[in-house]
Amino acid sequence: MNTKLWYLKHLDIFSGIPEKKLAVISSLMGSRNVGKRELVFQPEDLNKVYLLKSGSVELYHLNSEGKKVILDQLEPGSIFGDLAISESTENFAEATSDAFVCILTKDQFFEIVSKDPELSTRVMKFFLNKLSETERTISSLATDNLVFKFSSLLHRLAKNHGEENEIKIEIKEKFTHETLAAMLGVSRQTMTKLINALEKQKIITRSGKIISFDKVKFDDHYLS
């Protein structure tokens, strides 16, 4: 069995879709190894949809001052690309570790999805969830002060990279201060100070790659 097919079967969005269909899809897909620091796509690349199989990819755009604003750290299983119909989102996708991506043209992607009602529904749910998450993120970035922006960010990252319960959220992957800062539009030094302050208050504890965030303590300190 080829690796693309194996991979499709283990993607949430394709789970339970008959193997025959997946075989057709995988035969249409291209694939590519992407080295660390290599761009997976640039704003000019409008015509492709990517599935991240392994490694990590950073989605970002450059603000008016040319500063990098990180929109997302994608983990294996992510679907990405400039899916909008006509205009570019001016986004870049850069591998932050060696990565492997599967590639479809947009036409192929929509062709495949539109032929299968079950798949259509899943893709729609996937993007509606993404939209809802994006709305929360925008709202937080636009109106919250820094501590609350950071709290929102950790919640979001926990859903994608860790786990969340009613007491704690945990992020399993390694996020540098630099990266976290670029997600909130603050400097690296400011992020360092914030994290250390929260650590002093025991709201954040770190062991290795895991960041734990104590929601109860956070609320105690910062809610009314």
Partner DNA sequence: CCATTAACTGACT
Partner DNA sequence: AGTCAGTTAATGG
CA distance 18 to 37: 36
Is 69 a residue that touches DNA (CB under 7 A)?
Answer: no
Task: Name which of residues 2 to 41 contact DNA (CB under 7 A).
Answer: none
Q: How far is the CB of 177 from DNA (least distance, A)?
A: 4
The kind and range of the H/E element at 92 are strand 91-95
Contact between 82 and 46 under an 8 Å Cβ cutoff? The reply is yes
> Under the criterion CB under 7 A, does residue 136 sit at the interface with DNA?
no
User: Shortest gap between Cβ of 2 and DNA (angstroms)?
Assistant: 34
Q: What's the order of all strands across the beta sheet hosting 210-214?
A: 162-164, 168-171, 210-214, 204-207
Q: Which stretch binds DNA (CB under 7 A): 26-34, 69-77, 151-159, 181-189?
A: 181-189
Shortest approach of DNA to residue 173 CB, angstroms? 12
Q: Does 97 bind DNA (CB under 7 A)?
A: no
**Helices (H) then strands (E): counts for the chain:** 8, 12
Contact status: 61 vs DNA (CB under 7 A): no
Contact between 201 and DNA by CB under 7 A: the answer reads: no
Q: Any alpha helices (H) in 51-186, and if so which ranges? A: 106-114, 117-143, 146-161, 177-184
Residue 88 binds DNA (CB under 7 A): no
- Asked if 63 is part of the footprint of DNA (rule: CB under 7 A), the reply reads no
Does 209 engage in binding with DNA (CB under 7 A)?
no
Q: And the tokens for 211?
A: 């960041």
Distances (CA, A) of 135 to 36, 50, 113, 165: 30, 23, 25, 22
192 binds DNA, rule: CB under 7 A: yes
Q: How far is 59 from 12, CA to CA, in rounded Å? A: 21
Task: Report the C-alpha gap between 115 and 5 in whole angstroms.
Answer: 19
Work out how close the CB of 210 gets to DNA at its nearest, in angstroms, rounded to a whole number.
Answer: 13
In the list 187, 201, 205, 212, the residue contacting DNA (rule: CB under 7 A) is 187
Selected binder of DNA within 67, 115, 136, 202 (CB under 7 A): 67
Judged by CB under 7 A, the number of residues near DNA is: 15
Stretch of residues binding DNA (CB under 7 A), selected from 45-53, 104-112, 133-141, 179-187 = 179-187
Q: Name residue 70's amino acid.
A: I
The dihedral sign for the CA sequence 189, 193, 199, 202: negative
Contact segment (CB under 7 A) with DNA among 41-49, 51-59, 160-168, 189-197 equals 189-197
| Interface contacts to DNA, rule CB under 7 A | 67, 146, 176-178, 185-190, 192-193, 195-196
